[in-house]
Chains A and B, each alone.
Chain A
Amino acid sequence: MLTAATVAILVIVFYYPVGTVLIEAIVVDGRLTLAVFTNLLRDPFYVGEFARLFTGEGPVAVARAFAAPDRRLGIVGFTAYQAVLSTIVSVALGLPAAYILARFEFPGRQTLRSVTILPFVLPSIMVAVGFVATFGRNGTLNAVLSAVGMPRVELMFTLEAILIAHAFYNAPLVARVTTAAWESVDASAVETARSLGAGPLRAFVDVVAPQLYPAVLTSAALTFVFTFGTFPIVLALGGFELATVEVFVYRLARDLQYAEAAALAIVELTIALGVLFAYLRYEAATAVAARRVRPLPRKSLWPDAWTPRALFERAGIVTYAGIAAVVFLAPIVSMLLASVTTADGSLTLDHYRFLLTRQQTGAAFQVRPWPAVRNSVLFAGASALVALPMGVVVAVITTRASRGRSLVGAVAMAPFAVSGILVGLGLLRGLVFGVEVAGWRIAVAGSAAIVAAHAVAGYPFVVRTVAPGLASLDASLVESARALGASRARALFDIELPLVWPGVVAGAAFAVAISMGEFTATVVLATGADAYTMPVAIERFIGRRLGPATAMGVVLLVVTGFSFLVIERLGGEVHDY
């Protein structure tokens, strides 16, 4: 029953709207055609030298064209290119963190480990503002550089800025997944290898590393998928010069070229789903049952003896900590700073005053701060109420049901890979503009569509926080409850949910945070409707000066952080899951 409801919601708010958009790409003026596609695939502007493949040239010619110095990547090619680079940078930045978190003991380690989830749920538009405040012409980086007498650098609208911002998001993900894998390496396995004659390095290569590859690959695949579909970061840091597919889909949709937008979105979706599917196949093949292990002992950060090796290792850690501080703290600190300073560096509260004035005197067509805050909080609460049961049901199915679990898993996780623009467009054209069902015209309000889009974006996180707990519960607990007379649903409420409660609370917190930070689908749906949220407000403010945007960013940060706290208080302590 719950399963049916979940599937119905998914179909209504995700598959149907997305489907209507996709159909526009192949049905033009009521006729089925692939013309939009073939035009797109033959256009070097989109697919670069691959266009040669679709205009009849052989693979050799394509390879030769790519080898040439004036090769064209096209929008799709550039998107993949930056996604690959982002993945490499994220893995490079994430692995040392995993090493430190998994192998060293120091005060605050647990906290740091928990905090690695934070970047992932920080509103992307806010992070983008933070990076503009860091790397912009008048940003903190240039302020620091000129203070020490070095020349200014121009990082805005460069690939480097985008890569660093992507690493900000995804390196913690790499660190998190890899740390978990590292902690589940059984010390006895390493000790066995050592006793059989392997040195420490050899034991690492032979025993530990093979257990880490799947985790690294997992996080790399996810990073690729996320950065391939990136939108707000590139919109704010790259502009249209460094546009990715998602940005172009947005632009095409804004120009009402829906068929082209849909076709491009399909190309994007195919690539993202391809990677995700390959990864899921790999995960299924390498999945091992969770088992209790004796983890490797942690080293103290302050060594007993300063051997050269220990010294070298610590020097590396200190260097890394410096880099990490710049990447992860600079954007937030810069944003806070920029919100209270003028362009010439003196302290001011003008930006906040601007928000107040706008609230009091803003015209009807202008974005005002209070409705944005109110809308964000309302949408977050409503979408969490939808996302929680959906996520719990999907988690139960994917961890418990024997039949169709992989299918349900794939169907339910697809929203992870589908562009927010696509979801937003689909909801807008499918539900907000209305559909005819059996002679009735059904249309939902823009705000309801936003809640639906946020729930779709948020429930995979609920699945991710609840499923591991459920999977670690012995199936015989539920079976015992059922043999004692409890129905399946009753066993879920009596036994499973109380035991995975911390995960449920964490899931609620994520659903709220995701909703508050969601920009991509919201910006599509909020157009026209009076339903703009804080991230949309930030984007509108960037247009003029950075100051008000950073002030609005701080408001968003405070409201999001406060919501997190409230959920934690209401639901009990959020453990590290």
Chain B
Amino acid sequence: MTTDAELDRPGPNAPTAVEFDGVTKRYGETAAVDTIDLAIREGEFFTVVGPSGCGKTTTLRLVAGFEAPTEGSVRFGGSDVSGVPPEARDVGVVFQNYALFPHLTVGENVGYGLRFSAPPGGVSREERIETLLELVDLPEMSDRDPESLSGGQRQRVAIARALAPGPDVLLLDEPMSALDARLRERLRLQVRSIQRSLGITTVYVTHDQEEALSVSDRVAVMRDGSVVQVAPPRTVYRRPASRFVAEFVGDNNVFEGVVAAEGVTSAAEDEGDEIRVVSVDVHDTTLQVALEEGSAERAFDDRAATGIDTHGAGFSTAPRPGDRVVFCVRPQHLRVGRAQNSVRAAVEGAEFLGETTRVHLTWNGQPLVLSADEPLAGSVTVGFDPRDAHVVEHAASDGADTS
């Protein structure tokens, strides 16, 4: 079983299953969702991730039909569903708290949706229930009471129930949050493989960025009601569109500085290839950051899908001396003893995480974090490859934001 979502994800040419066109949802004065555009492809595992209160659950409820947009429209396969009630949308919903009907048995729960539509594939109701319970690995459980099941089992029943009528879209609202860490990891692999085997369009909402990266074909990062980036997990991780994404998804070291010189050619330390870099002054130290080439494939990919530029890679205009930039370097790319781009930092403490040790440093009052094999002490020299630095913000010296 492949766990790497990106290997066989639906391509950019797959038809759009669910589309958000300038959707805003206001509660009184506050906009829970603020003018968002999304295009979720058929068969895609699409994850919406963000801190609590960012509007991700509202986004899911707009798809389900529990909320109606204040402005804009939600479309299923091209037709506007704004006025369509949830029961007429062919969606399956799984909630964090399972929401199993306590007065019905497991089998009756799974079969509830079949009271309103015939089971897909011409099978009988009983056969459908049996198939679904086998799919979620709970055969022979049909007559049990939901109360007698464990949390993980209940969640699997909830998934079977949502899938039973053969919905067009499966919606999962933080389905793992109430489970313990080990169970969560197992269940998310199971969900992913069920999704893959059925090829069902899936929208998954979570606040857990690790979960989002591990299961998704594409990830939408939300903040304050807006979508700030839509991209495959690797892109979100490697080329975050903003400082917020850089800091929200995984650990990161963020540097703010001013461009000192542009277009310098530098030899990469290990390989000898020549790369184009800019020099950035940070805390009176000059650091070199590679000028990234925008990837044509990626640009097409994300732009076509969402209508917004979301990969935010590097400089969109040539940097000039005096421009302000923010760039980031992942902890594993900050190496002890590396001469290039080196700074001297004081060790503040270390966390032993099993696989690795996370070392906390300060450099001119700025916290840094790096992954090391063993704890460090005193003060150390750390450096990074210019190509591992990723620019997330770029403002021209005249104040215009050009990134």
Task: Tell which of B95, B112, B167 touches A479, judged by Cβ atoms closer than 8 Å.
Answer: B95
**CB closest chain-B residue, reference A495:** B101
Does residue A499 face the partner (Cβ distance < 8 Å to B)? Answer: yes
Q: Are B165 and A484 in contact (CB under 8 A)?
A: yes
How many interface residues does chain B have, given as a range?
Answer: 20 to 34
A482 CA / B89 CA spacing, docked (Å): 10
CB distance from B366 to the nearest CB of A (A): 38
List residues 478-496 of chain A with CB under 8 A from any CB of chain B.
479-488, 490, 494-495
Which candidate, B113-121, B211-219, B292-300, B326-334, is the interface stretch facing chain A?
A: B113-121
Does residue B92 face the partner (Cβ distance < 8 Å to A)? Answer: yes
Does residue A118 face the partner (Cβ distance < 8 Å to B)? Answer: no
Does residue B363 face the partner (Cβ distance < 8 Å to A)? Answer: no
Q: A479-B66, A483-B91 are in contact. Are A474 and B97 (CB under 8 A)?
A: yes
Does residue A445 face the partner (Cβ distance < 8 Å to B)? Answer: no
Q: Are A485 and B99 in contact (CB under 8 A)?
A: no
Q: Are A476 and B97 in contact (CB under 8 A)?
A: yes
Q: Are A480 and B117 in contact (CB under 8 A)?
A: no
Task: Tell which of B85, B102, B162, B171 touches A482, judged by Cβ atoms closer than 8 Å.
Answer: B85
Does residue A498 face the partner (Cβ distance < 8 Å to B)? Answer: yes
**CB closest chain-B residue, reference A478:** B99
Q: A474-B99, A477-B99, A499-B103 are in contact. Are A483 and B115 (CB under 8 A)?
A: no
Q: A485-B113, A485-B117, A498-B103 are in contact. Are A480 and B161 (CB under 8 A)?
A: yes
A335 CA / B401 CA spacing, docked (Å): 88
A479 CA / B103 CA spacing, docked (Å): 16
CB distance from A1 to the nearest CB of B (A): 14
Q: Are B99 and A476 in contact (CB under 8 A)?
A: yes
CB distance from A529 to the nearest CB of B (A): 44
> Which B residues are in CB contact (< 8 Å) with A487?
85, 87
> Which A residues are in CB contact (< 8 Å) with B93?
479-480, 483
**CB closest chain-B residue, reference A484:** B113
Q: Are B115 and A485 in contact (CB under 8 A)?
A: yes
Q: Are B102 and A479 in contact (CB under 8 A)?
A: no
Does residue B86 face the partner (Cβ distance < 8 Å to A)? Answer: yes
List residues 103-127 of chain B with CB under 8 A from any CB of chain A.
103, 112-113, 115-117
Does residue B64 face the partner (Cβ distance < 8 Å to A)? Answer: yes
CB distance from A446 to the nearest CB of B (A): 43
List residues 129-182 of chain B with CB under 8 A from any CB of chain A.
158, 161-162, 164-165, 167, 171
Interface size on A, residues (CB 8 A): 18
CB distance from A290 to the nearest CB of B (A): 15
Q: Are A486 and B95 in contact (CB under 8 A)?
A: no
> Which B residues are in CB contact (< 8 Å) with A483?
64-65, 86-87, 89, 91-93, 162, 167, 171
Q: A474-B97, A476-B97 are in contact. Are A482 and B86 (CB under 8 A)?
A: yes
CB distance from B158 to the nearest CB of A (A): 8
Residue with the highest number of chain A CB atoms closer than 10 Å, among B99, B113, B167: B99
Q: Are A484 and B116 in contact (CB under 8 A)?
A: yes
CB distance from A218 to the nearest CB of B (A): 27
A479 CA / B113 CA spacing, docked (Å): 12
Q: Are A486 and B99 in contact (CB under 8 A)?
A: no
> Which A residues are in CB contact (< 8 Å) with B117?
485
**CB closest chain-B residue, reference A501:** B103
A488 CA / B116 CA spacing, docked (Å): 13
Residue with the highest number of chain A CB atoms closer than 10 Å, among B97, B112, B164: B112
Q: Are B87 and A486 in contact (CB under 8 A)?
A: yes
A477 CA / B158 CA spacing, docked (Å): 11
CB distance from B182 to the nearest CB of A (A): 25
A498 CA / B102 CA spacing, docked (Å): 10
Q: A483-B162, A484-B161, A485-B113 are in contact. Are A477 and B91 (CB under 8 A)?
A: no
Count A-B contacts at CB 8 Å. 69
**CB closest chain-A residue, reference B103:** A498
A481 CA / B164 CA spacing, docked (Å): 13
Q: A485-B165, A487-B87 are in contact. Are A479 and B116 (CB under 8 A)?
A: no
Interface string of A497-508 (1 = CB under 8 A from B): 011000000000
Q: Are A482 and B95 in contact (CB under 8 A)?
A: no
> Which A residues are in CB contact (< 8 Å) with B171?
483
A362 CA / B64 CA spacing, docked (Å): 68
Interface string of B47-84 (1 = CB under 8 A from A): 00000000000000000111000000000000000000
Q: Are A476 and B113 in contact (CB under 8 A)?
A: no
A7 CA / B95 CA spacing, docked (Å): 34
Task: Tell which of A476, A494, A495, A498 touches B95, judged by Cβ atoms closer than 8 Å.
Answer: A476
A503 CA / B259 CA spacing, docked (Å): 71
CB distance from A242 to the nearest CB of B (A): 50
> Which A residues are in CB contact (< 8 Å) with B103?
498-499
CB distance from A494 to the nearest CB of B (A): 8
A160 CA / B103 CA spacing, docked (Å): 51
CB distance from B321 to the nearest CB of A (A): 55
> Which B residues are in CB contact (< 8 Å) with A480?
93, 95, 99, 101, 158, 161-162
Interface string of B332-375 (1 = CB under 8 A from A): 00000000000000000000000000000000000000000000
> Which B residues are in CB contact (< 8 Å) with A482?
65-66, 85-87
> Which A residues are in CB contact (< 8 Å) with B86?
479, 482-483
> Which B residues are in CB contact (< 8 Å) with A485?
87, 113, 115-117, 165
**CB closest chain-A residue, reference B98:** A476
Q: Are B116 and A477 in contact (CB under 8 A)?
A: no
Q: Are B113 and A499 in contact (CB under 8 A)?
A: no
> Which B residues are in CB contact (< 8 Å) with A477?
99, 101
A482 CA / B91 CA spacing, docked (Å): 10
CB distance from B83 to the nearest CB of A (A): 15
A488 CA / B85 CA spacing, docked (Å): 9
CB distance from A284 to the nearest CB of B (A): 15
Q: Are B112 and A484 in contact (CB under 8 A)?
A: yes
Q: Are A486 and B116 in contact (CB under 8 A)?
A: yes
**CB closest chain-B residue, reference A491:** B87
CB distance from A168 to the nearest CB of B (A): 38
**CB closest chain-B residue, reference A487:** B87
> Which A residues are in CB contact (< 8 Å) with B116?
484-486, 490
Residue with the highest number of chain A CB atoms closer than 10 Å, among B86, B158, B171: B86
> Which B residues are in CB contact (< 8 Å) with A484?
87, 92, 112-113, 116, 161-162, 164-165
CB distance from B114 to the nearest CB of A (A): 9
**CB closest chain-A residue, reference B86:** A482
CB distance from B9 to the nearest CB of A (A): 26
**CB closest chain-A residue, reference B169:** A483
Residue with the highest number of chain B CB atoms closer than 10 Å, among A479, A480, A481, A499: A480
A482 CA / B65 CA spacing, docked (Å): 9
Residue with the highest number of chain B CB atoms closer than 10 Å, among A479, A487, A490: A479
CB distance from B169 to the nearest CB of A (A): 10
A227 CA / B144 CA spacing, docked (Å): 52
List residues 136-176 of chain A with CB under 8 A from any CB of chain B.
none
> Which B residues are in CB contact (< 8 Å) with A490?
116
**6 A-B pairs with the lowest CB-CB distances in the bound complex, closest first:** A485-B116, A484-B113, A476-B99, A483-B93, A482-B86, A476-B95
The residues of A with any CB-CB pair to B shorter than 8 Å are: 474, 476-477, 479-488, 490, 494-495, 498-499
> Please, could you name 22 A-B residue pairs with CB atoms under 8 Å apart, sorted by A?
A477-B99, A479-B93, A479-B95, A480-B101, A480-B162, A481-B101, A481-B112, A482-B85, A482-B86, A482-B87, A483-B65, A483-B92, A483-B93, A484-B87, A484-B162, A485-B116, A485-B165, A487-B85, A487-B87, A494-B115, A495-B101, A498-B103
- Inter-chain pairs besides A484-B87, A495-B101, 19 sampled, C-beta below 8 Å: A477-B101, A479-B95, A480-B95, A482-B85, A482-B87, A483-B64, A483-B65, A483-B89, A483-B167, A484-B92, A484-B112, A484-B162, A484-B165, A485-B87, A487-B87, A494-B112, A498-B103, A499-B101, A499-B103
